[in-house]
Amino acid sequence: MSLGKQKLGSQGLEVSAIGLGCMGMSQSYGPADEAESIATLHRAIELGCTFLDTAEVYGPFVNEELLGRALKGRRDQVTIATKFGFRIVDGKQAGTDSRPEHIREVVEASLQRLATDHIDLLYQHRVDPAVPMEDVAGTVGELVAEGKVRFFGLSEAGIANIRRAHAVHPVSALQSEYSLWERNLEPQIIPALKELGIGLVPFAPLGRGFLAGDVRRAEDYPEGDFRRGDPRYQGENFDLNVAAASTVRDIADAKGAKPGQIAIAWLLAKGPDFGIDIVPIPGTKRRSYLEENVAAAGIALDATEMLGLDMALTPDKVSGPRYNERTMSLVDR
């Protein structure tokens, strides 16, 4: 089975119906395995999962370099999304920086690391409160005119900044956390995306693994694993969330599918429901999970199943914030 294509936004961007989040190949989810990561990227291309998501801050830098090596001779088979917007000091993220001159520096460096002459989709990784959004969008618009960037995206931006950016240079996609597990976009952001013709790229579509069914408590993950500090994996929150996610497991069992596949199939069905383009980017560094995730495109959920999932994981049934306080402070809401 090869994945079909999906439009993303109104400017002509077309990507695979499911993408691949590459961050975990270099950070946050245990030790890196370059050989398996490159094999996973090559298998993704074979399966038609060709929308690849990276960022300069992943690693930092090493994730883009990994893609540059893996895609040698294959660049024209994939759509690469990367991101700017952080200041990186001594190998660590040190606040936001979307000054126009910094955007240009980052893009030149990303092109080098990715071994390419253009970025297909360039996101502002987080809104920078010190730089007017008009300046950010204007700079990306110049990069589009120069042929270094094809399409413009935002990540975790709020409605006001989405509108301000879109008025200067069309925004093709908003990347934000959205899943059965995290529904914060539904009341306001999704209607605005529909109005403006902007696509949605949900990251963490499996709730950082929680909806995949094979979860452990925060303290049972190794040092360096992001989930050790995830409030939803801790203490009483963990127990309550395991109970809330049981409906996903039940539906998966009834359909002979994996829970993670049900979570992705729910997202794919939400696009037509909401009247917007939705392309989830489940992240993995292993071929086996990639194949599972891509197969979710072949799973159909009926109206009863969709309603059951909607009701089981309403925001009041998910316990704990999605980020710790410091990380949450970077989200533009």
Give the model confidence (pLDDT) of 143-171 as tens digits. 999 999 999 999 999 999 999 999 999 99
Mean pLDDT, residues 192-204 taken together: 98
Q: Residue 48's pLDDT is what?
A: 98
Asked if the structure places residue 315 within a domain, the reply is: no
CATH assignment at residue 197? 3.20.20.100
Task: Look at 209 and 105; give whichever has higher pLDDT.
Answer: 105
The torsion angles phi and psi of 61, rounded to 5 degrees, stand at: 75, -35
Distance CA 305, CA 178 (A): 19
Indicate if the pLDDT at residue 87 is higher than 80: yes
User: What DSSP state is assigned to residue 100?
Assistant: H
pLDDT computed for residue 28 by the predictor: 85
Rounded to 5°, angle at Cα 242 from 240 and 244: 70
Domain that holds residue 111: 5-209+260-299
Q: Is the pLDDT of residue 333 over 90?
A: no
- Whether 250 is covered by a domain: the verdict is no
State how far Cα 19 lies from the chain centre: 8
Q: 62-70 vs 34-47: helix axis angle to the nearest 10?
A: 60
Gap between the Cα atoms of 43 and 161, Å rounded: 37
pLDDT at 203 over 90: yes
Q: What is the pLDDT of residue 1?
A: 65
Entry pTM: 0.96
Cα separation of 133 and 128, whole Å?
Answer: 8
| Stretch 97-120: mean pLDDT | 98
Quickly state the pLDDT bin for 64 (edges 50, 70, 90): very high
User: Which of 141-155, 224-238, 278-292 comes out lowest in average pLDDT?
Assistant: 224-238
Least confident of 26-35, 80-89, 145-154, 257-266: 26-35
Q: What is the pLDDT of residues 65-83, one digit of tens each?
A: 999 999 999 999 999 999 9
pLDDT, mean of residues 52-58? 98
> Please, which pLDDT band fits residue 224 given cuts at 50, 70 and 90?
confident
Catalytic residues: 58
Q: Is 247 a member of any domain?
A: no
Q: What is the mean pLDDT of residues 187-208?
A: 96
Is 276 domain-assigned? yes
**Amino acid 30: pLDDT:** 80
DSSP 320: S
- Give the integer Cα–Cα distance in Å for 68 and 264: 28
- Our count of domains for the chain comes to 1
Residue 20: its pLDDT value, please?
98
Is the residue at 227 inside a domain? no
Q: Give, for 145, the enclosing helix (H) or strand (E).
A: helix 133-145
Residue 243 has what pLDDT?
A: 84
Average pLDDT over every residue of 209-224? 88
pLDDT at 111 over 90: yes
Share of the chain above pLDDT 70, in %: 100
In contact, 215 and 209? CB cutoff 8 Å: yes
Q: Which residue has the higher pLDDT, 225 or 35?
A: 35
Find, among 313, 287, 289, 325, the residue nearest to 45 by Cα: 287
pLDDT over 80 at 253, yes or no:
yes
Please report whether residue 131 resides in a domain.
yes
The answer to whether residue 311 sits within a structural domain is no
Considering the chain, what is the average pLDDT of its residues? 95
Which pLDDT band holds residue 209 (cuts at 50, 70, 90)? confident
> Could you tell me if residue 242 is inside a domain?
no
Residue 323 pLDDT: 85
Among residues 328, 327, 321, 331, the alpha carbon closest in space to that of 93 is found at 327
Tokens at 298, concatenated:
């072949």
Residues 6+ apart with CB under 8 A from 178: 184, 185, 200, 202, 205, 267
Q: pLDDT band for 9, please (50, 70, 90 cuts).
A: very high
